A and B are shown apart, each in its own frame.
Chain A
């Protein structure tokens, strides 16, 4: 093995020990299909470190993805992982969680998937405060299909289906999740890897719905079409133009223009009862002795 590595890459620095996060990645599937400089891999690395740091039982951790570039995350993680249909990762995850609350269920998908075709499910999962962690990688356009505009694309940015610029306005996702009732709402960029990892640990330890928006460069499509530079320039841009403002009013954190300050931080952290607790307590109260808690809910 060592020999082989040396042969193929003569300048490889040292025979390597394993990257600590490799235990969580289906290495046999690498290299992954994401473009050079795409931030999804960074977010996935952050997630893997969050899993390791949190000490969560990996055998009881499930990841559910929808369709699209970020939708491929489920396929690369060495966890029970489900690659479902476009936009429907959240309802699949809801069923999974309710059928076995011992599972930590993480929905990992993209902006087009979760907010456009899956927008209704996102809203209602937050309203119900279902015990899920939703990690939404926002690359500001549809990547897998070639760079069409979507509900997160900034005003006047270009996409293949907005060849003269986008005359719509994008969603402010933290605000949406806040008003719908999610327990935890944060936004970080893939530049903020440490904070992102910490947020993922926090989110996975919350009951109710926790939501993290991860701003991520899409160099080959969004950045190129909008002449915003390459991936590296975008990372530097994210570093220099993000402002950490924990507890910011979510209504003030919209990303509407191609170039503007990006407010990042933990915006919402509250303790409304999660869906399972609410259901269990309410039925127990309303039905008294007639209520049978599902046997598959027992710890």
Chain B
């Protein structure tokens, strides 16, 4: 039995602009599909810098966007790309940049800026094996904590993890919608395998694609403050050139957007930056689970690893083990509530990932020692052998 968590409040207010939607059935790889997702979501500005294995996204955007009506600019580096998109966002566009490991590392500075300015923008990281230059053409999943914590200071982000080219399309649209709604940098955490594997991708007609358009302030100039918020803690947007003469800064600021150099302002600001995601987390999280309640073992995996894990789950079931599958689709914020529940209903967790323990730490934190959590680590460069995951499953049930 497959189910997803109850559908979050319907976020979306509009349908896609048909100009950007390549309706039809396609055979394309995850990179290309993510690009189409961005176009369908209404992204009209991409700044990028070439890096394997994400380059196909910007290549496709460079080729497609002049036929749709938008701008692609290849910047001098990822630092520039990740802030050029923020300039364009403050002029009113939906914007995106794209990178992989080393380039993603360079973007950390502006992930912090986007969090601080509350710039809606999407960043795709097609993960490769690291650290450093690592294995440029081969997969990794070791940026999962970096995306959560990589820039200095306290902030929250939203990150989604597709495991197929179809999901690269769907989740990129979702990333734009979430980013626009919550005004946080939002990430699509692909990996080289998902980016480069080609599969059937169905792009629906524009009227079937829901998009969330930015909420601009309607308050008169005298009443509007760039960072005053209501209950949802998300300020409504203002764009340049509308006569409001607003100021924004990466310094700690007050509701006016003016630098305010004291602990009180800092506390207030950071509290809101964090709480606007934490209090809305249940509405943001998405996951897919199968036979988890009462399972002897739950295999929790994401991205390409979730597909390898499926094979291991099948093998284990053939051996008579009750195995559940859990796949976070939104990985940040993490589905904390559900994992805590499942910790009381299952015999243990196996977490295979292409790193030496990142999401497994989150699972351990939530399970809090109630049941065993086994990491199946992998250095990247290829995917797990299903047998390695199976072995971990069998160890938990002590077969």
Report A's interface with B, CB cutoff 8 A. Answer: 26, 29, 58-60, 62, 64, 74-75, 78-85, 87-88, 90-100, 102-103, 120-121, 123-124, 279, 283, 287, 290-296
Contact = CB atoms under 8 A, between A and B. Distances in A.
A98 B79 contact: no
A271 to B, nearest CB: 22
Contacts of B75: 91, 94, 124
B70 interface: yes
A84 B73 contact: no
A290 B64 CA distance: 10
8 contacts: A59-B243, A82-B87, A88-B109, A94-B84, A123-B76, A283-B66, A292-B19, A296-B92
A120 B243 contact: no
B73 A294 contact: no
A120 B77 CA distance: 9
B8 to A, nearest CB: 30
Given A58-B245, A83-B251, A91-B84, 18 more contacts: A74-B249, A80-B241, A82-B90, A88-B83, A91-B79, A94-B73, A95-B87, A95-B88, A97-B91, A98-B45, A98-B71, A98-B73, A99-B88, A99-B95, A103-B241, A123-B76, A291-B67, A294-B44
Contacts of A102: 241
Given A75-B247, A80-B245, A296-B92, A124 B76 contact: yes
B45 to A, nearest CB: 6
Q: Is the interface of B mostly helix, strand, loop or mixed?
A: mixed
Top-4 shortest CB links A-B:
A95-B87, A99-B91, A83-B249, A96-B87
Nearest to B247: A81
A156 B69 CA distance: 53
Q: Is the interface of A mostly helix, strand, loop or mixed?
A: helix
A101 to B, nearest CB: 9
A94 B244 contact: no
Contacts of A292: 19, 66-69
Nearest to A29: B258
B294 interface: no
Nearest to A81: B247
Interface string B88-105: 111111010000000000
Nearest to B110: A85
A120 B88 CA distance: 20
Q: Which of A79, A120, A123, A296 has the most CB of B within 10 A?
A: A296
